[in-house]
Amino acid sequence: MVQIAAGSAGPVRVTRPSGLRDGILASRRLRYIYVQNPKCGSSTIRHSLWTAEHALGLAGPPGVPHVYSDDQPFIDDPRRWERVEDEYVFTFARNPYARVLSAYLNKVVKHRDPLVWGIFAARYGLGDGPLAFGDFLRLVARTPPDELDPHWRPQCKLLIPDLIPYDFIGSMETFEVDLRRLMRCIFGPNSEVATHAPHRTDAVEFLTQHYGKEQLELVQRIYQDDFTLLGYSPDPAQQTRVRTPVPPNPDPIRRWGRAWRLAEGLEFADAAAEFEALRAWIAGPLLEERLLRCLCELPNASAKQGLARGVRHLEEALPRGYGDAISWKWYARALTLLGRREDGLTAMIESVRRRQPPAAGTQARLRRLAWQLALVRASKGRRSDALAALGHNPRQGECDISQAQALSLVERSVIRLVASTAVALGARRRDAGPAPGVPEDPDGPRATTSGQKSHSSR
């Protein structure tokens, strides 16, 4: 099998979930890291690893692989990358033609999971009717890769072979042989494979039914990097991998782990320096949000300059669809610290809306943020913008209350805000007494008690 070098000119754009965050399954007690790749046997791999650790007395009895719990022997810990040379790092890849078809058959045709199909359908205004494979691919092709569901997101976005030095990349095309080899490498010659495949679709058997010239061209365009970096041929008749990636320089991934360790240890200045240096290798909201998180904890002039740079980087990425709820959260906080309160509130509203699944109390929090935004705009005399923030729901295309009611509420709230501020300032001035060098006004009002008259009334 011919080898190819993994890596590309310039920084690699990364997001979550990926091998840098949320896609890591590191053993709590053994030195291995599995980078998860949906629609590539991940249920069976996790179940086999869990079963083997349980047999060694290192974990409890296996449960449902994809239901996260403290009983699982895995942890999502980016700090483990700092000592990558001490870990056995592996993943599994799949021919792009078969993988995207498997995702379509499982998540669009068979099981319309609201957290997968529901989000996709809402984005494009799809109903409950069937969606042809070609139509599905056309919608995928027009969506930014970082916004795609992980089940059909390009594998290179999840596995990042440009940065992660894998010891082993198995193939779905030779899954049983490769998984058995992996298990013996980690647990010894007597280890067994524990099959768990509730989402199996046998997509390879249906390739000829779903692929024509247009579908082949769409997949080649969407998953171009997967064909190149993971070593698959664009010829659909050649399903097995024809090349294996050469591991990249491990220094960037080590620095990523070190930066996370420093940040978790509250050493924010040193962590920020590491994240800044990583811009030479890593680009995108995942890096920028971590950097902003560190800089937000450093309220000094140099940190403020760094916040401004980080905000500029995110302002280039977020409007194009890159980033998730956490990216928008730290972007919002940085804007607020830079004095851009209105922009910060707008970004925080976007962060809350992007949470999947929605947290408890999401609608109540959105209403509170909308009121805060309306008050800020109304205090600047921008009545129509205040109404837009308060009364209009862009997702439903309707107003929660009438414009007259909204305007009245906003203006009364602003009046109360101004009045309470004036009262507070007046009280502070009275408590402070006369200014230095200014004599007290002898004709000013004085407190009197019952039975007493002021000198002015005599």
Residue that terminates a domain, selected from 353, 381, 405: 353
Mean pLDDT check: name the lowest of 6-15, 100-109, 217-226, 433-442: 433-442
Based on the fold, state whether residues 67 and 207 are members of the same structural domain.
yes
Based on the fold, state whether residues 239 and 306 are members of the same structural domain.
no
Contact 354, 344 (CB under 8 A): no
Based on the fold, state whether residues 346 and 379 are members of the same structural domain.
no
Based on the fold, state whether residues 90 and 234 are members of the same structural domain.
yes
**453 within some domain:** no
Residue range 13-21: average pLDDT? 90
**443 within some domain:** no
**181 within some domain:** yes
Based on the fold, state whether residues 377 and 344 are members of the same structural domain.
no
Q: What is the pLDDT of residues 88-121, one digit of tens each?
A: 999 999 999 999 999 999 999 888 888 888 889 9
**312 within some domain:** yes
**346 within some domain:** yes
**Model-level pTM?**
0.75
Based on the fold, state whether residues 61 and 192 are members of the same structural domain.
yes
- Residue 10 backbone dihedrals phi, psi, to 5 degrees: 90, 175
Based on the fold, state whether residues 36 and 53 are members of the same structural domain.
yes
Amino acid symbol at 441 = D
Based on the fold, state whether residues 295 and 175 are members of the same structural domain.
no
Based on the fold, state whether residues 300 and 381 are members of the same structural domain.
no
Q: What is the pLDDT of residues 118-177, one digit of tens each?
A: 889 988 999 888 999 999 999 999 998 888 999 999 999 999 999 999 999 999 999 999
**102 within some domain:** yes
Residue that terminates a domain, selected from 307, 334, 353: 353
Checking if the pLDDT of 400 tops 70, the result is: no
**439 within some domain:** no
Count of domains forming the chain: 3
**71 within some domain:** yes
Mean pLDDT check: name the lowest of 43-57, 153-167, 322-336: 322-336
Based on the fold, state whether residues 142 and 184 are members of the same structural domain.
yes
Q: Given this model, what pLDDT does residue 324 score? A: 79
Based on the fold, state whether residues 223 and 273 are members of the same structural domain.
no
Based on the fold, state whether residues 186 and 331 are members of the same structural domain.
no
Contact 77, 24 (CB under 8 A): yes
Distance between CA atoms of residues 77 and 388, nearest Å: 42
Distance between CA atoms of residues 34 and 87, nearest Å: 10
Mean pLDDT check: name the lowest of 210-219, 289-298, 435-444: 435-444
401: left (phi over 0), alpha (psi -120 to 50) or beta: beta
Residue that terminates a domain, selected from 211, 246, 281: 246
Domain limits at 133?
2-246
Q: What is the pLDDT of the chain when averaged over all its residues?
A: 82
Distance between CA atoms of residues 375 and 23, nearest Å: 41
Q: How confident is the model at residue 426 (pLDDT cuts 50, 70, 90)?
A: low
